[in-house]
Structure 1
Amino acid sequence: MAISFVIASAPAGTASAVPADYQSPDGVYSYVTGGAGTPGDPYRCDITAFAGKEGAVRIQSALEGYPLRTITSLEGCRSSSLVVPQTVTSIGQGAFSGCKNLESILFLGDRPSGNLPGNVSISVLQGASGWEEGTARTEIRTHGSNGSFFSYYVAGGEAHVLGPVSGVDFSIPSADSVGNRFVSISAEAFRGSGAKTVAVAEGVREIGVRAFYECLSLVSAELPDSMRDIRDEAFRYCPSLGNVDLRNVETIGFETFRDCKSFTHIIIPDSVRRAEGGCFYICTNVSCVKVGRGLDRVSERMFGFCTSMESVEFAVKPVSVGNYAFNNCRALEGIDISGADYLGRNAFFGCEKLADVKLSPRLQSIGDQAFAECRSLTTVKISDSLKTLGSHVFFNCICLTDIHFNGPMPETAPDFLFGTQNVKVHIQCVHKESWKAFEGDTVIEGDCETSFSCGHLHLAIVLAFILAGTLWLYIRHRSHM
């Protein structure tokens, strides 16, 4: 019989007709996706609403791996100022009508198709094409030294890096020659460039979406204490990049360090409050991971395919482990997830050396194939809190001999042991009736004749006191006759 399993794929995303929401540091984007991921039909997304923050917002150039091409609507937007990325090629009719506080828009690229609002100030970067005559232009400036120069623009007295002009070793200062403070490296800024090193000075707070995407020669990135947000895919596929110091960073975006194959360890400081899906996906040379106190969840695919990872330490035990979180972490030998109520599907798929797993006494759900292909597991103990157990959970766990269930039979797929033979399922005598539908090899534990619950014990004690009191009253009554 041919058995196939769905594994998280390497492309940026998977085409879907289902609308999605994405929580970014700026607010919640609602969007739909399109494209087949081919040269003639590339992946893309379309924003349909944006429940964003007040003030200035730089709209993301991609959402969860899908390049932004169209803004159909920003309904819910509360921002007074927007920066639209150069990836946008189309604007929907009335796209900005829901932005009640909007005063200005800066476009970083060529003129997109569609009508623009007439009641806000619109400006574009110098050199952008297709714009109407008289449209306000924002100057593109250059800065650098020792043969390495980059471009930038200034808005509201703050400078934002646009990308390289020449050279390979870049130093982003705190301010330019006239005192404009550098605060961000824009989305797509150095994407695909030959940059080898980047040193970012104090004051810069954000690295934008795909800012260093596919910088194959990048070996070093020095970040300042002021750095707070590293956005989606910022350093994706930088295979030569060495370990990055993340001190004081608060947000690590979707697939931020995916395919950073020269990382040897990962230290997530206490300051990090959000680490999005796949943020360290396919970091194949990482041997150890330490997660700080700011995170209490392991996001989807967070450490998937970190094939050399031997250990992971949590300062705070996670309350959930997402889908594919440790998928194919083949060197991982043990893990303490004794605080997790939820284990997603394929959470530990292919962790072939995993022998020691500490599960939570509050664990409620184990997803499909969560421990499939964990070939070193011998014994698993599951508490009485478990409510759902997915399909093929222990598929091909060839060394598994015993599973201990402390509670009644959960809502379970009948094939949770599919592909694994000679496993004894230990169940408590008091719950044996609930396991009647299970057709596997069971071992009944506990004394069925004398087993009773704490509630029964309390009742017995109460009855004993009542009986003793009644007897005392009877004796007292007899003594007065």
Structure 2
Amino acid sequence: MTDIGRCAFSDCDRLTDIIIPDSVTSIGHEAFSDCTALTNITIPDSVTHIGIEAFSDCFGLTTATLSGDIGSSAFNNCYNLTSVTILEGAKTIGDYAFQYCSSLTDITIPNSVTRICEGAFSDCDSLTNITIPDSVTSIEAGAFSGCDSLGNVVIPGNLTNWERAFSDCAGLTGVVISEGVTNIAESTFEGCTGLTDITIPDSVTSIEEAAFLDCVSLNNITIPDSVISIGYKAFSGCDSLGDVVIPGNLTNWEGAFLDCDGLTSVTISEGVASIEAESFRSCGNLGNLVIPDSVTSIEKYAFSGCIGLTNITIPDSVTSIGSSAFSGCTGLSDVTIPSSVTSIEGGAFSGCSSLTSITIPDSVTSIGAGAFSRCNSLESITLPFVGHAFNSPDKRFFATIFSSSDDTVDTAYQSVPSSLKKVTITGGIRIETNAFYKCSSIEEVVITGGVKAISSDAFAYCTNLRSITIPESVTDVEPNAFYRCDLLTIKGVENSAAERFAQEWNIPFEYLTHDPGSSGIGDVDGNGAVDITDVMATCKILARAAGGTPPTPAEVQAGDLDGSGTVDILDVMAICKILASQNA
């Protein structure tokens, strides 16, 4: 006899013991399935193949010594099986071969095995020890998934395929990945809630999607410089991870640390060019962040929902801030946007409810709809043009940077925060009709740039507007530009279009000794004059600098009176001297 045929002894529920002769080379499909009284089996070395479900549902089987390749579900649901020895010569352990062997505690895999197939030992929840030989190159999807008692595992260096191999192994606490492994496959350790520590060798270049998803106890991870890619949600839900260093060669890491609630500190190494989309989204306790000068873009939702982030310094290398990049950062009270930035996309700072002031540099050419929506504590904003446009290339409507792209002129004003009192405009050519339509919270507007004209109804129904500073560059102020601005005083220099308009429309006019559109040296707060408020503004700049936030280029231009290249206490003294000379 060389073969035991298909279903040869299937459902022989009184069969307790069997001796298989050395002449047998193959055991067919379901040959002994449902032999519920069979207690042990020794398969001779001559056997090279054990068929599909050959011993499935042999509930009485407690030990097995096996040779040859093991077919799919060969011992599936043998829930009293405690020990298995696989003899040298076997190359493959088939799909679900030992699935639901819930009493299996130990197994010896010989050096001849190269492939452990899908679900081979899945849900063996008593398995405490497994030694995987270096010969194994493939551990297929879910091979050890749900092995809740497995405590430690060493991953062999020749492994190339091991997607979801150890997912949901709740008792797994320690993993050593041998040198030679190049990738940590998708969902490999997903749901390993007991995993606290892992060593990743320098041979690894990629950590794939969801590799450590919901490893809630993982508190330490060192990502080597060799890693260039971290997949989406690779560390998502790792709530015990407190700090992480991002290696400098990383180029692809979208959503890598999404929802890491315990993450408090991140160091991004020099060399990283982009903070990818959703990289740190909903990391609610992230408070300490260092962004290197190599970063040129902050992508969409990168820090969205990081409610613990209170301040951030964006380096001069960054040129774009993506949509909703900082949305919902409710603790963010201070942000410096450098003069390298050219684009701020829609919703970039939406919901930053602690932000009280923002200065947008002249380098910015595009501000998306709702970029500052729901910034309900914002008191002042400085921007290089009026705002975003409704289906138009013109940057003409102020309210749109606070509203949805679906809004119109007639509805957008409702989104302007009631806290907003001051707007400073540093550029543009014309302030168009309805630009500030019904922005009733605004009390002060300062124009310092090269604006040449203010159109009719530009500030219509700005009912609380008390002061507008208009530079000499403005040569045309059209009728009704300030319709129903009954509290308004216009500020400007003598013999200017602003003065003529004020006289024509019987609006109070306050004369300035210094044109707000000129260089502005000493006029730190941009109100068109050098006065005591500039001393206070300069002191605020110094306080911010002491906290690690350097002055903006515009602040240096206005506040660097002694030509030192920065703003310091000597500049405060210089402004005080100017004030003293004015009062002499």
TM class by shorter chain equals: 0.5 to 0.7
Note the C-alpha offset of 1:139.
Answer: 4.6
Aligned length: 313
Q: Read off the aligned partner of 2:347 and give its amino acid letter.
A: Q
Corresponding residue for residue 400 of structure 2: 415
Distance in 2 of aligned mates of 1:317 and 1:380: 24
Note the C-alpha offset of 1:202.
Answer: 1.9
Q: 1:140 to 1:187 in 2, by over 3 A?
A: closer
Deviations 1:389-423 (A, max 9, x none): 22222223232111111356554574323251234
Q: 1:438 aligns with which of 435, 438, 455?
A: 435
Corresponding residue for residue 164 of structure 1: 144
Q: 1:150 to 1:207 in 2, by over 3 A?
A: farther
Q: Does 1:189 align with 2:165?
A: yes
Q: Secondary structure at the match of 1:164?
A: coil
Q: Secondary structure at the match of 1:416?
A: helix
* Mapped contact 2:386–2:435 kept (Cα < 8 A): no
Q: Does 1:315 align with 2:318?
A: no
Corresponding residue for residue 148 of structure 1: 129
Corresponding residue for residue 205 of structure 1: 182
Q: 2:381 aligns with which of 403, 423, 427?
A: 403
Note the C-alpha offset of 1:283.
Answer: 0.6
Deviations 1:43-92 (A, max 9, x none): xxxxxxxxxxxxxxxxxxxxxxxxxxxxxxxxxxxxxxxxxxxxxxxxxx
Distance in 2 of aligned mates of 1:303 and 1:311: 12
Q: Secondary structure at the match of 1:357?
A: strand
Q: Does 1:333 align with 2:330?
A: no
Deviations 1:138-190 (A, max 9, x none): 753999xx952166895xxx72344439652333255xxxxxx4244611111
Distance in 1 of aligned mates of 2:249 and 2:178: 19
Q: Secondary structure at the match of 1:172?
A: strand
Q: 1:329 to 1:125 in 2, by over 3 A?
A: same
Q: 1:388 to 1:406 in 2, by over 3 A?
A: closer
Q: Read off the aligned partner of 1:267 and give its amino acid letter.
A: V
Corresponding residue for residue 230 of structure 2: 252
Q: 1:245 to 1:356 in 2, by over 3 A?
A: same
* Mapped contact 1:255–1:280 kept (Cα < 8 A): yes
Corresponding residue for residue 357 of structure 1: 335
* Mapped contact 1:171–1:201 kept (Cα < 8 A): no
Distance in 1 of aligned mates of 2:291 and 2:238: 22
Q: Read off the aligned partner of 2:448 and give its amino acid letter.
A: E
Q: 1:315 to 1:397 in 2, by over 3 A?
A: same
Distance in 1 of aligned mates of 2:249 and 2:312: 23
Q: 1:152 to 1:187 in 2, by over 3 A?
A: farther
Q: Which segment is superposed worse, 435-444 or 288-297? A: 435-444
| Aligned pairs for 1:52-67 within 5 A | none
Distance in 1 of aligned mates of 2:320 and 2:199: 36
Distance in 2 of aligned mates of 1:380 and 1:216: 42
Q: 1:242 aligns with which of 214, 219, 223?
A: 219
Q: 1:427 aligns with which of 415, 425, 429?
A: 425
* Mapped contact 1:317–1:336 kept (Cα < 8 A): no
Q: 1:372 to 1:423 in 2, by over 3 A?
A: farther
**Which runs of 5 or more structure 1 residues have no equivalent in the other structure?**
1-108, 111-123, 130-136, 175-180, 454-481
Corresponding residue for residue 127 of structure 1: 94
Q: TM-score, normalised by structure 2?
A: 0.48
Distance in 2 of aligned mates of 1:152 and 1:207: 18
Q: Which runs of 4+ in 1 moved over 6 A?
A: none
Q: Does 1:223 align with 2:200?
A: yes
Q: 1:152 to 1:253 in 2, by over 3 A?
A: farther
Distance in 2 of aligned mates of 1:328 and 1:361: 25
| Aligned pairs for 1:90-129 within 5 A | 126-128=93-95
Deviations 1:284-328 (A, max 9, x none): 111111001231111111101111111210223522212211111
* Mapped contact 1:125–1:138 kept (Cα < 8 A): yes
Distance in 2 of aligned mates of 1:315 and 1:290: 9
* Mapped contact 1:212–1:234 kept (Cα < 8 A): yes
Q: 1:388 to 1:315 in 2, by over 3 A?
A: closer
Distance in 1 of aligned mates of 2:139 and 2:293: 36
Q: Secondary structure at the match of 1:182?
A: coil
Q: Read off the aligned partner of 2:271 and give its amino acid letter.
A: G
Percent identity of equivalent pairs? 25
Q: 1:436 to 1:452 in 2, by over 3 A?
A: farther
* Mapped contact 1:216–1:237 kept (Cα < 8 A): yes
Q: 1:348 aligns with which of 326, 329, 334?
A: 326
* Mapped contact 1:409–1:435 kept (Cα < 8 A): no
Q: TM-score, normalised by structure 1?
A: 0.58
Deviations 1:401-459 (A, max 9, x none): 1111135655457432325123422113x635145542144322264257589xxxxxx
Q: 1:294 to 1:224 in 2, by over 3 A?
A: same
Q: Secondary structure at the match of 2:336?
A: strand
Distance in 2 of aligned mates of 1:405 and 1:353: 22
Corresponding residue for residue 389 of structure 1: 367
Q: Which has the larger radius of gyration?
A: 2
Distance in 2 of aligned mates of 1:152 and 1:324: 43
Corresponding residue for residue 8 of structure 1: none
Distance in 2 of aligned mates of 1:313 and 1:220: 24
Note the C-alpha offset of 1:330.
Answer: 0.7
Distance in 2 of aligned mates of 1:213 and 1:271: 25
Note the C-alpha offset of 1:128.
Answer: 4.3
Note the C-alpha offset of 1:333.
Answer: 1.2
* Mapped contact 1:301–1:326 kept (Cα < 8 A): yes
Distance in 1 of aligned mates of 2:387 and 2:128: 69
**Which runs of 5 or more structure 2 residues have no equivalent in the other structure?**
1-71, 74-90, 97-112, 122-126, 390-394, 403-414, 450-470, 474-514, 520-584
